[in-house]
Chain A
Amino acid sequence: MVKHIDAIIVGAGWAGSIMAKELTEAGLSVVMLERGSERTTPVEGAYPESIDELRGAIRKRLFQNLSQSTLTIRNTMDQTALPYRQLAAFLPGEGVGGAGLHWSGVHFRVAPEDLRLRSAVIERYGEKFIPEGMNLQDYGVSYDELEPFFDKAEKVFGTSGEAYKVQGKIVGDGNVFSPDRSDNFPLPAMEDTFSASVFRDAAKNAGYHPYSLPAANASRQYTNTYGCQMGPCNFCGYCSGYDCYLYSKASPNVNILPVLRQDPRFSLIPNAHVLRVDLDSTKTKATGVTYLDTKTRKETSLSADLVILGAFQFHNVHLMLMSGIGKPYDPISNTGTVGRNFVYQTITSSRVWLPPSTYTNQFVGAGGAGVAIDDFNSMNFDHGPLGFVGGSPVWVNQAGVKPIAAALGAGGGGTPRWGSAYKDSLVNTYKHSLGIDAHGSNMAYRDVYLDLDPTWKDAYGQPLLRMTFTWKDNDIRMNQYVVSKIEPIARAMGATKMNLVHLNAGQPFDTRTYQTTHLGGGAIMGENPQTSAINRYLQSWDVSNVFVIGSNAFPQGMGYNPTGMVAALAYWAAHHIRTTYLKSPGPLVKA
């Protein structure tokens, strides 16, 4: 039997939860399907079980079960891809809340020129500046258009930060490179950890412009626009990989789902693995979705007028490929859109040791707290003589070093991994060091993409998604340049030793060590249906009652963390669905 609802949402993370809230507000009946299990903070987040490091970040309680479904990875098109069998380089979430439950909480807006990076680069350096094979593109939406939705999201997330400019007036010691805001942050910035304050002083003395990272870790207790409550962060350090027992880290579970669950128009089905979006015979209209109950292995079809894909970035791409929505990307002919412009971020973490008399108290921290400089991010510096596109914020983001992670992280690089020298190094590193990251952009390339694997299948019999990805010269040089700027800052901090980490020329992408979960692109937004899978309202060009919400929409990987942008895009798309689409369903942009 097929049950009809107004809107189906795939995925119970930020994108899905925002869309569900908006669509129920518009009066629609909404069914949200989540592949993983139910998770509510009063149960899963209960103290102290929720901060068991072994169960949490080490055994990866909140992450995707790769034994059921994963993807295959290769560096280049001439290689054979193999399945990603152990979570390492990136950590997709699973269960209600998705990546929005296990994230750290760094909650950026966007550098306005990153939204029109192709145009900006051409304006400043000319079209020839863009390297051969780089698919540099604009988003098709401007910062001014998105601003109200960034503001709305911050008030839902309870974001802590210090503004620079509000309504044209300089109001505080915020990021001088950040664009104008319609309103201040709902909460004041998080306090600096000791390490962040040392970095702030050194960066300022070096002539840079340090600012407090905007954090969706509540610096005060907060009741958001939906009446959901947050407790204030106590810097316990259990953010990334954990559900916050203090209700301080924003998550769909804390900030949106409590109110949604009270709405009779809303229902959430966990353990529902969506196999495909069902299309009508014309392949231009979705009729609903078919999902598998992962407990009973029973397939169910639901019919709906509107289908929102709000799963993790590459799951959205996988679902589009499995459903036949849009044309799969072909790197040989450089045609097709689904799988095109798959991007990542270029991130390296360096370590600096301060004198033994200085304690960095690394056991404290918060995932979103820290101090950054944007002097080498986006278009904030002159790329002309450097010859690369993109950039990186540089920051000290002390998120709290947990005991097992501290032990695993010590040693190596000339220091033994066992014995008394290891122990000395562990103690010294834990007590006196700090990390500095270059958290950079990653450009899109013609031969970096996603498609369906010809060989490997998941536990449900569907082909795995195949990722073809490696580091490219442009991004390696960008990373090297920005990391070179860390050294003088570290010296000014009084470093006695430093381990500056950057990518090396020709270095391939290595899946074995954690880098970031900020994957992007693959089903990007844009103004041209030949080079983008979804239009500026995140609506499929090909199937107009399907909207695809997530970092899959990013044409390039940006230097900032993606969640704030994903949330703003979700509210942006929802706004246009509510004000335009629902009145007259059909394409919001003529192809």
Chain B
Amino acid sequence: MKKPLFIACILGAGLTGSAIAQDTDTATLEKGRYLAAASDCAACHSVHGKPEYSGGVSFSLPMGKIYSTNITPDPEHGIGRYTEAQFSRAVREGIRRDGSTLYPAMPFPSYARMTDSDIHALFVYFRKGVPAASVATPDNEIKWPLSMRWPLTFWRWIFAPTPHKAITRTAGEFTDPQLARGAYLVEGPAHCGACHSPRAITMQEKSLTADGGRLYLSGGAVVDGWTPPSLRQENRTGLGRWREEDIVAFLKTGRAETGSVFGSMTSAVLHGTQKLTDEDLRAIAHYLKSLQTADQSQTPWTYDPTITDQLHKADLSSQGARVYIDRCAACHRTDGKGYPAVFPPLAGNPVVMQTDPVSLVHIVQAGATLPAMTAAPSSFTMPAFNHKLTDQQIADVVTFIRHAWGNNASPVSAEEVEQFSKSMPPSDMADDTPALN
């Protein structure tokens, strides 16, 4: 039962010091670089303007603020003194070199199912492919007694699978090799569930894999002001009407005919998924399309031209119609169809129909920028409207688009908009982080 871990330890022990130096063949290093992108390590361990992977990204948790660590090969501040076994334990089991437990902001319960060979490549990359940066990690701002880490150990024991368990449990999950590859990427390195799956009150993801039930990837709680939508097959609020090629285009370029990336996912596409091969992206899409719907109550969305006809007749009697015409229709059009892959459609867009309207309100308030991607160099901006529209106007226009064109989501009140303005994320335009080509 402990065999794979045991083997990993032996491997790790054998690979210290000069042994590592010999084991830097390019293929392994490049595989590691690819896996680092697939695992989106940069999203949490890189800060714009600082050396890559030198940590310092802050996470606001209910008990205080924590910072991601330096994972460059710097011996003092980074992972320069980690053996491969120690590295593997940190990544897959959440156990630091000193034996204490990592905060589960690090998605080790997902990484647990990564193969030994992938962990090895990742180790080689972080030791040899990333320049060492002597950057100290800021101290976490959590007050005693919550700063004690030992309760985390219990959490880990209860909720995090061991690599052996995770790997053996998922081994026979799919016989179709494309589905199996998709499952491995989504459930493992890409750790999609960390945001897109609901968590229990004790903060563990309610399900870590496809066979763990229909809550897996059924939509998560608000992260940084954005609500991760369901990645399952709900017709209105999930990926039910997204084709595999839409998912591939979305992950590769941040833009698809069905919608464009925004919020926290922008970084995941920018630093992560756009670097994956088309084959892996197709595997991910194929796997996501195989997930059954979690909410079976949704009637299929069909386009309803009523509002379009009204707008074409200059009938602005619907609540929010005037704001929509003045502020939104230039790009998203009176028919709500936008110019897909340039300006996203609002008609039938799952984000527009999400039960929780916070993402939608935040986009209107803070704006959104689609940065340049390697395969799609154009960058597009939606301006912030928080200074241009009142809470009531934002409520009206958001309510309008949630009802128009066959959309059927609940109305939004000015009070909710005011409430959401407190958690409004900073505008993408606040710094030069995304490449604004």
Contacts and interface: CB of A to CB of B under 8 A. Distances in A.
Given A43-B436, A232-B339, A226 B429 contact: no
10 contacts: A40-B379, A42-B436, A47-B331, A48-B383, A226-B377, A231-B331, A258-B379, A261-B435, A262-B377, A262-B435
B136 interface: no
Of all A-B residue pairs in the complex, the 3 with the closest CB atoms, nearest first, are A258-B437, A258-B377, A42-B381
A20 to B, nearest CB: 14
Contacts of B327: 48
B100 interface: no
B11 interface: no
Interface string B357-381: 0000000000001001011111111
A571 interface: no
A228 interface: yes
Main DSSP-derived SS at the A contact region: loop
A221 B331 CA distance: 12
B102 interface: no
Interface in A205-255: 221, 226-232, 234, 236, 245-247, 254
Contacts, number: 73
Contacts of A221: 339-342
A257 interface: yes
B405 interface: no
Interface of B: 327, 330-331, 339-343, 369, 372, 374-381, 383, 429, 435-437
Main DSSP-derived SS at the B contact region: loop
B331 A257 contact: no
Interface size bracket, A side: 20 to 34
B158 to A, nearest CB: 46
A46 B342 contact: no
A445 to B, nearest CB: 44
Contact of A43 (B340, B374, B376, B381): B381
Nearest to A226: B377
Contacts of A245: 330-331
Contacts of B380: 42, 229, 247
Given A245-B330, A261-B435, A262-B435, A46 B377 contact: no
Contacts of B330: 47, 234, 236, 245-246
A229 B376 contact: yes
Contacts of A424: none
Given A227-B377, A229-B342, A261-B372, A46 B437 contact: no
Contacts of B372: 258, 261-262
Nearest to B340: A221
A49 interface: yes
Nearest to A232: B339
A259 interface: yes
Nearest to B343: A231
Nearest to B327: A48
Contacts of B341: 221, 229
A257 B437 contact: yes
A262 B381 CA distance: 18
Interface string A373-413: 00000000000000000000000000000000000000000
Interface in A315-329: none
A63 to B, nearest CB: 23
Interface string A256-272: 01110110000000000
Nearest to A50: B383
A123 to B, nearest CB: 47
Given A221-B342, A236-B330, A245-B330, A261 B429 contact: no
Nearest to A221: B339
Given A258-B372, A258-B378, A262-B435, 14 more contacts: A40-B436, A41-B381, A42-B380, A42-B437, A221-B340, A229-B376, A231-B342, A231-B343, A232-B339, A234-B330, A254-B378, A258-B377, A259-B377, A261-B437
A493 to B, nearest CB: 28
B248 to A, nearest CB: 16
Nearest to B255: A229
A393 B374 CA distance: 42
A272 B378 CA distance: 25
Given A246-B330, A258-B437, A42 B369 contact: yes
B331 A43 contact: no
A462 to B, nearest CB: 33
Given A228-B378, A236-B330, A257-B437, A43 B429 contact: yes
B258 to A, nearest CB: 15
Contacts of B378: 227-229, 247, 254, 258
Given A42-B436, A245-B330, A231 B383 contact: no
Given A221-B342, A234-B330, A261-B437, A227 B375 contact: yes
Contacts of A41: 379, 381
